[in-house]
């Protein structure tokens, strides 16, 4: 069990804010209650309320400007000693982090796993740029020897949960008149984007697979890989100096055109969760023409990322956790934002212009210890849209049955 979870379980009254779309926080609440922890939940829209079915549930219908004072009073009145949320950069959550610091209330953040697949992250205080992990502690650790259980995580469960969540939030938006989605889109726009995603996947699947086959058919390793992130990822807006992904793409292609070897290629991999929201094909094509590298720059989405990594020269990203996957594959990795793993022994610290010419490989011995450190401190064997073996491991077979009741039937049948 990660140190963060062990510490969370020492608290008496946990307050849940917004979680992942879907039933994860509902299951997590059940788990906490089996540990004799009182759980309260604040819903900010009807989508939050739809997926949560426990007592001690409250609705916040006020403005964002008044949330801090409301939350401060709520914490004091209800003797809250820990707050848990998904994502530490959402507007309500950034205020909660500040208030918890002032009141000396513990603050825990769920996020996608630093190490994937089959892990999710739970970290106290915050992630990436907000992390307080001390990298000096790594020196005393042994090499990682973890064997996480398979979590049966499924993308279609996320898609269904997202569509339902946004439609329900839109249908009952009158109940929460001041709520605005943290990504700047209406609930209906989000639902439309998730409905658009399957069409784009069908349209581009074969061309993307053909591109992957051309790139990986030999062992020449003559391309650099760029792993793109979701267009409004809070890790970009809060933990980098880029205003958006478009600026990052422009800078990357311009730098590649100027400094990379003329025989080398550049491949931009679109984020699958952003498929319905953004399509950068025309942008990438126009920039490649502008910088006179049209025959050397490629773009796709439905390509197997680990396979692309293995055949690449190295990888560039803002601060995606795919950077750690690249390090795992012993590939030179350049981080353009602020990330928990952006340290000299793992990532290339030279300017981007030098990275194209002399990419530096990571220290694999250090990576193994760094991986072990992340697992011990922040990583939980589980999935937001699959099974959570960590619940079973901690509770034992008998206790796990009370959590299992809240799993989707598709999970129980696997």
Calpha distance 23→376 (Å, rounded)? 26
Question: Omega of the bond prior to 117 within 30 degrees of 0, cis?
Answer: yes
Q: Give per-residue pLDDT as tens, 322-378.
A: 999 999 999 999 999 999 999 999 999 999 999 999 999 999 999 999 999 999 999
pLDDT at 413 over 60: no
The pLDDT, as a whole number, for residue 30 is 95
Confidence label for 145 from pLDDT (cuts 50, 70 and 90)? low
Q: Judge whether residue 311 has pLDDT over 90.
A: yes
* Segment 199-236, tens digit of pLDDT: 899 999 999 999 999 999 977 789 999 999 998 887 88
The answer to whether 223 and 265 are in contact (CB under 8 A) is yes
* CA–CA distance, 199 with 221 (Å, rounded to integer): 32
Query: Residue ranges per domain, the chain?
Result: 3-170+379-396, 201-369
Whether the domain at 3-170+379-396 and the domain at 201-369 fall into the same CATH topology: yes
Q: What average pLDDT does this structure show over 281-300?
A: 97
pLDDT at 137: 75
* Higher-pLDDT residue of 137, 285: 285
Length of the chain: 414
SS3 277: coil
CATH number of 201-369: 3.40.50
Find out whether 326 and 359 touch, Cβ atoms under 8 Å: no
Tokens of 347: 């990532």
Predicted TM-score of the model (pTM): 0.85
**pLDDT above 70: percentage of residues in the chain:** 92
Q: What is the mean pLDDT of the chain?
A: 90
pLDDT surpasses 50 at 404 = no
pLDDT of residue 176: 95
* Residues 263-278 as b or e (16 or more Cβ within 10 Å = b): ebbbbbbbbbbbbbbb
Question: How crowded is residue 142: how many other Cβ atoms within 10 Å of its Cβ?
Answer: 8
pLDDT of residue 180: 85
Asked if residue 334 lies in contact with residue 320, where contact means CB atoms within 8 angstroms, the answer is no
Query: For position 405, what pLDDT does the model report?
Result: 45
pLDDT of the residue at 412: 30
Nearest to 155 by CA among 64, 240, 273, 262: 273
Q: Which residue, chain included where needed, has tokens 């964002």?
A: 64
For domain 3-170+379-396, the question of CATH label 3.40.50 is answered with yes
Check residue 162 and give its pLDDT. Answer: 87
């Amino acid at each position: 069990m990660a140190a963060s979870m062990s510490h969370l379980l020492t608290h008496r009254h946990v307050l849940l804010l917004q979680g992942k779309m879907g039933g994860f926080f509902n299951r997590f609440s059940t788990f906490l209650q089996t540990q004799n922890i009182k759980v309260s939940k604040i819903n900010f829209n009807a989508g939050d309320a739809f997926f949560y079915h426990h007592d001690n549930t409250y609705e916040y219908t006020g403005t964002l400007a008044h949330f801090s004072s409301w939350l401060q009073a709520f914490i004091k009145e209800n003797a809250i000693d820990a707050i848990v949320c998904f994502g530490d950069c959402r507007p309500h959550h950034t205020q909660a982090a500040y208030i918890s610091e002032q009141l000396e209330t513990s603050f825990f953040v769920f996020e996608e796993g630093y190490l994937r697949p089959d892990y999710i992250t739970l970290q106290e205080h915050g992630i990436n740029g907000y992390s307080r992990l001390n990298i000096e502690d790594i020196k005393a650790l042994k090499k990682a020897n973890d064997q996480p259980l398979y979590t049966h995580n499924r993308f279609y469960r996320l898609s269904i949960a997202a569509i339902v969540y946004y439609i329900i939030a839109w249908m009952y938006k009158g109940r929460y008149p001041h709520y605005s989605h943290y990504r700047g889109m209406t609930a209906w726009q989000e639902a439309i984007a998730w409905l658009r995603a399957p069409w784009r996947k069908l349209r581009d699947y074969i061309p993307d697979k053909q591109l992957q086959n051309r790139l990986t058919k030999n062992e020449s390793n003559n391309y650099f890989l760029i792993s793109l992130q979701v267009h409004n990822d809070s890790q970009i807006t809060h933990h980098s100096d880029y205003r958006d992904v478009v600026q990052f793409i422009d800078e990357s292609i311009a730098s590649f055109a100027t400094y990379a070897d003329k025989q080398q290629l550049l491949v931009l991999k679109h984020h699958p969760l952003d498929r319905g929201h953004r399509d950068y094909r025309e942008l990438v094509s126009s920039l490649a023409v502008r910088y006179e590298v049209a025959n050397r720059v490629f773009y796709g989405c439905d390509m197997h990322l680990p396979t692309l990594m293995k055949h690449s020269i190295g990888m560039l990203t803002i601060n995606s956790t795919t950077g750690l996957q690249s390090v795992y594959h012993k590939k030179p990795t350049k981080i353009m934002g602020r990330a928990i793993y952006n340290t000299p022994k793992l990532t290339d610290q030279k300017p981007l212009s030098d990275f194209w010419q002399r990419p530096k490989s990571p220290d694999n011995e250090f990576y193994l210890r760094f991986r072990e450190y992340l697992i011990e401190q922040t990583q939980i064997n589980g999935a937001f849209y699959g099974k959570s073996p960590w619940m079973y491991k901690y509770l034992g077979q008998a206790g796990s049955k009370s959590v299992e009741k809240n799993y989707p039937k598709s999970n129980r049948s696997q």
